Amino acid sequence: MTIVFVYERMVRIMLLLLFIIFFFGIFGKLIGFAFRASWSIIKVVFTLVFLPLILVGLVFRGLVIIALPVLLVVGLCSLLDRA
């Protein structure tokens, strides 16, 4: 194994761990927000089912580089919308 290969693997693992931490933190807040804001059932289903599935699918396909910014944008929107 070369040092570059080990470094790239460590970066991927760190990004994956960062994604998992943000994922549970953001969608935990969105569950409460979805019911508090009294959205329609379609928006609640999209927020709680489809968006997390899409993000997890991106991660399993190896697209953490795309999934992490999307997750951060959703988290930022949920933080700003809470105020």
pLDDT in tens, 27-65: 777 777 777 666 567 677 777 777 788 788 888 887 888
> By C-alpha distance, which of 57, 62, 55, 64 is closest to 30?
55
Q: What is the pTM of this model?
A: 0.49
Amino acid at 44: V
pLDDT for 8: 85
pLDDT for 60: 84
Q: At what angle do helices 64-82 and 51-60 cross, to 10 degrees?
A: 150
pLDDT for 80: 80
